[in-house]
Amino acid sequence: MSINRAEKITMGTAFAAIVSFVLLRVFHRGLYGSIPAQSYLFLHSGMELLSFALCFTMLVLGCLFYFPSFSKHQLYLAALFGAVGIFEMLHGLTAEGMPFYRMIGGAMPLSLLFTLTAQLAGAVGVLVILSRGDVPVPAGRRLPVILIGIGLASAAAAVYFQLPQHAVPLLDSERSVKMLRFAAQTVVAFAYFGALSIVLFRNRNERPQALLTIILSLAFLLLSALQFMLSAHPHDSDFLIGHAYKLAGYFFLMNGMYAMAIGEPLRQYGHSESRIHLLSNYDELTGLSNRRLLKEQLNEELKQARSSNSRLAVFLLDIDRFKTINDALGHSFGDRILQAVSDRLRLAASKANRLYRMGGDEFALLMPDVDKEGEPIEQRAKAIMGLFDAPFVLDEAEYHITISLGISFYPQDGDSVDVLLKNADTALYSAKAHRNEFSSYEPEMNRGAQDRLRLESDLRRAIDEEQFALAYQPLVNLNSGKVVGVEALVRWHHPKRGLLPPGEFIPLTEENGLILQLGEWVLGAACRQNKAWQDSGLPPMMMSVNLSMRQFRQQQLAERIKEILEQSGMPPQYLELEITESMTSDVEFAAETLSSLKELGVQISIDDFGTGYSSLVSLKRFPIDKLKIDRSFVNDLAQGGSDAAIIQTITTMAKTLKLKVTAEGVENDEQIQLLRERNCEEAQGYYYTRPIPANLFENWFRHRSQTA
């Protein structure tokens, strides 16, 4: 455990006190002496006044200054030393040579009774208080505890003043008085030693500043008690040194009380202020400046740009397909990607070019006075894009990340913070349409952004009004020529724009989360249609439905699919759920989810196989039934080359794993023949028919069955 500076100071001061005590005992013979009565009276009175002042200060710290963290130790120590202060003051006023000096026995002055009471009350009280746990106490308890402490001390003092001179005959003997004093100071020494031991043991792992000063005070008070025990005469040097140790103990105890009552709350308040400032201006995950600070600093840069008649640029950057990364690998992994991306972007940010995290996966780079550096802005944008050419290595695996970038300039693209940021965001959206590109803002881009907003609004209405329909494309067995299944594909009948293909609205539903509602509707409609075909006399066939990444990651997916199957009445063995390779990146989660789906009795296929990074090891763990070869390998199959070899490899591997294989995008006889030669079992594509509505598919199916 490391030792901080405060602990070193505490240890050094305590060590110095112990060394001073040892040296005083070693050289006691040469240092010891009796002090003249007048000199002793002056020194002793001054020390007692200081003792009273320190005790009174502790009382004030405990009863007048408190925060919400007002503690039991703080309150009781304040009350205790308020009482001790009264005894210390009366000890000084009743000492020999003072106005209230009197004897209560032949050898017992009243001042000795007051000082022994002060020492015993202080030592035993500290032991009792610190031996108990420190907990917050309500502020309403403050005044009663203080009044009880002061009241008991005042009552005891009144009783002492009423004692007659020979009330206790035992006190007439000087030897008896010395024994009484020694016994009392022995109790005091053991009490302080016990309190010190308890405090050190309870706080052996963590020692706050207030506690360190209390430890020091207990050490000095213990040395004070030992010094009083070893003194031979009330007017000797040992007695004055004991008072000096006691003053030091009261002083450090007062500091500890101050730290508890004022210092620690103020420090926590200052820490909270700093924390609030940090969170309000900086991103907690990456440590970069946030959107709020960007707006402030961009506003300042705009003022300078206006005064110097210079240009500045705002770069907005966005990680391509970051939602897919989050959905596939989890948000904690996504956070690591954000941290890695921010580290690379720091390489592009000079002192003049400041980097910010806007939120989510969006970053900003502020480039003031862009003409001063001389390098074209396009070169700087390409340099930033080039930072992501190399893959990210996380957990010994490589991940290729790309970004899209939008740029706006002052003054041509806006002269205010909000306009510049809005136009940079518009340029970013334009770049993201192609991914891994950068775009500078152009006024006509606003039309595209407005169209996107209108389309999103229309999309929400379309889900509520069920403006969607399903089209169906058959899956045909290449050996028998029979239709063995059909894939359901969603279409949108937009009231103004007509029939829209999935590519124009599915990416938008994935971004805004509407894909969950749409995907559930597609699944229910496809199951109901398949059951209707079976009821109308068509032979049972497989219904294939695509699952989106968000659907695959949602909780209780299996339970929801089970409900849809029960509501539609379709047997589960005729439902095939299609997932993509990217959904299986988190192998443990994918294996668990797929197993829960298989328990329903449905079939599972991997769509677009060959375009991801599936490994044989992970494929063996997944309870899948089919691989669907991506159309990109089928398109150029007739031209030979590597595509034919890839398809041969996939079909051979699938046969080994006892999986079926379907080829997508089949368009001509030559492709059909080559797929048969490579043992591909099923095919779908325009060769058979385009995706068609349910009624046309039923007619097509019956006609094909009659002519087959």
CATH number of the CATH domain containing 190: 1.20.1070
Report percent pLDDT > 70 for the chain. 88
107 plus 175 within the same structural domain? yes
> Can you tell me the distance from the alpha carbon of 225 to that of 183, in angstroms, rounded to the nearest whole number?
11
CA distance 564 to 520: 9
Given 387, 421, 441, the domain boundary residue is: 441
CB of 261 closer than 8 Å to CB of 315 = no
Considering only CA atoms, which of 207, 174, 154 is closest in space to residue 9? 207
Its sign, for the CA torsion 251, 255, 257, 258, is positive
Cα distance between the two ends of the chain: 84
Please give the full DSSP string across 387-428, using - where no structure is assigned. Answer: TTSSPEEETTEEE---EEEEEEEETTT-SSHHHHHHHHHHHH
Residue 575 has pLDDT above 80, yes or no: yes
Q: Can you tell me the mean pLDDT for 540-555? A: 89
Domain of 196, in residue numbers: 38-270
CATH number at residue 585: 3.20.20.450
Mean per-residue pLDDT for 190-205?
83
699 found inside a domain: yes
Nearest CA among 375, 449, 450, 438 for reference residue 408: 438
| Tokens, residue 356 | 């910010």
Kindly state the average pLDDT of the residues 4-26. 78
pLDDT score recorded for residue 27? 80
* Residues 218, 316 within the same domain: no
Residue at 697 is within a domain: yes
Residue 67, pLDDT > 70, answer no
Partners of residue 282 on adjacent β-strands: 289
Q: How many domains does the chain have?
A: 3
pLDDT attached to residue 610: 63
> Which residues face 103 on adjacent strands?
109
Confidence band, pLDDT 50/70/90 cuts, at residue 462: confident
Segment 657-673, tens digit of pLDDT: 888 999 898 988 888 88
280 contacts 296 by C-beta, under 8 angstroms = no
On whether both 255 and 310 belong to a single domain, the answer is no
Question: Which neighbouring-strand residues pair with 362?
Answer: 318, 359
Confidence (pLDDT) at 671 = 87
pLDDT above 70 for 279: no
Give whole-number Cα distances, 37 to 228, 424, 653, in Å.
Answer: 19, 89, 108
Bridge partners of 404, per DSSP, are 318
Instruction: Note the pLDDT tens digit of each residue in 210-254.
Output: 677 888 888 888 888 888 887 766 677 777 888 888 888 888 888
Is-contact 588 616, C-beta < 8 A? no
Amino acid at 113: L
pLDDT score at 578: 92
Confidence of residue 1 (pLDDT cuts 50, 70, 90): very low
If asked whether residues 255 and 301 sit together in one domain, one would say no
pLDDT one-digit tens code per residue, 413-448: 888 999 999 989 888 888 887 778 888 888 877 776
Burial of residue 449 (CB within 10 Å: 0-12, 13-18, 19+) is middle
Percent of the chain scoring above 90 in pLDDT: 18
Give the model's pLDDT for residue 37: 75
Q: Say if residue 529's pLDDT is above 90.
A: yes
**Above 90 in pLDDT, residue 542?**
yes
- Tell me the C-alpha distance between 492 and 462, whole Å: 8
Q: What is the C-alpha separation between 25 and 433, in angstroms, rounded?
A: 87
Which amino acid, one-letter code, is at 110? Answer: L
Q: Which of 80-84, 137-141, 357-361, 507-511 has the lowest mean pLDDT?
A: 137-141
Domain edge (last residue) among 419, 441, 463: 441
How does DSSP classify residue 94?
A: T
pLDDT bin (cut points 50, 70, 90) of residue 706 is confident
Model confidence at 545, pLDDT cuts 50, 70, 90, reads very high
Q: In three state form, how does the secondary structure of 306-325 look?
A: HHHCCCEEEEEEEECCHHHH
Element spanning 354, H or E? strand 354-359
What is the average per-residue pLDDT within 591-599? 91
Q: Tell me, yes or no, whether 281 lies in a domain.
A: no
Going by pLDDT thresholds of 50, 70 and 90, the confidence category of residue 272 is low
d(CA 352, CA 373): 10
Does 462 reside within a domain? no
- 3-class DSSP string for 646-694: HHHHHHHHHHHCCCEEEEECCCCHHHHHHHHHCCCCEEECCCCCCCECH
CATH of the domain at 358: 3.30.70.270
In order, the DSSP letters of 119-160 are HHHHHHHHHHHHTS---B--GGGHHHHHHHHHHHHHHHHHHH
Residue 247, CA atoms < 13 Å, CB-side half-sphere: 16
- Residues 256, 310, single domain; the answer is no
Of the candidate ranges 87-91, 161-165, 443-447, 636-640, the one whose mean pLDDT is the lowest: 636-640
Reported confidence tier of residue 260, pLDDT bands at 50, 70, 90: low
pLDDT at 708: 57
What secondary structure letter does DSSP report for 111?
A: H
Domain assignment present for residue 455? The answer is no
Sign of the C-alpha dihedral, residues 273, 279, 280, 282?
positive
Asked if pLDDT for residue 641 goes beyond 70, the answer is no
266 and 296 belong to one structural domain = no
pLDDT at residue number 316: 92
- Report if residue 460 sits inside a domain: no
Quick one: 130 and 232 in the same domain? yes
Residue 136 has pLDDT above 80, yes or no: no
Residue 546 lies in a domain: yes
Neighbouring CB atoms inside 10 A of 478's CB total 18
**Are both 265 and 346 inside the same structural domain?**
no
Residue 571's pLDDT band, with cuts at 50, 70 and 90, is very high
Q: Percentages helix, strand, coil for the chain, rounded to the nearest 5? A: 60, 15, 25
Q: Residue 37 and residue 234: Cα distance in Å, rounded? A: 10
Q: Are residues 392 and 488 in the same domain?
A: no
Catalogue the E-assigned strands of 561-625: 575-580, 603-609
Length of the chain: 708
Check whether residue 326 and residue 409 sit in a common domain. yes
pLDDT at 533: 93
683 phi and psi angles, rounded to 5 deg: -150, 155
Mean pLDDT over each residue of the chain, to the nearest integer: 82
pLDDT, average across residues 320-327:
79
Q: Which of 79, 78, 80, 90 is nearest to 48 (CA)?
A: 90
Please give the model's pTM, rounded to 2 decimal places.
Answer: 0.50
| Short-list 92, 351, 378, CA closest to 246 | 92
* Same domain, residue pair 251 and 304: no
Pairing of strands 483-494, 392-394: unpaired
Q: Is the pLDDT of residue 264 over 70?
A: no
Residue 667 is encoded by which pair of tokens?
């368009």
**Residue at 653 is within a domain:** yes
Task: With beta carbons less than 8 A apart as the criterion, state whether 405 and 425 touch.
Answer: no
Q: Residue 473 above 90 pLDDT?
A: yes
Do residues 237 and 330 both lie within one domain? no
Q: Which two tokens stand for residue 38?
A: 């007048």
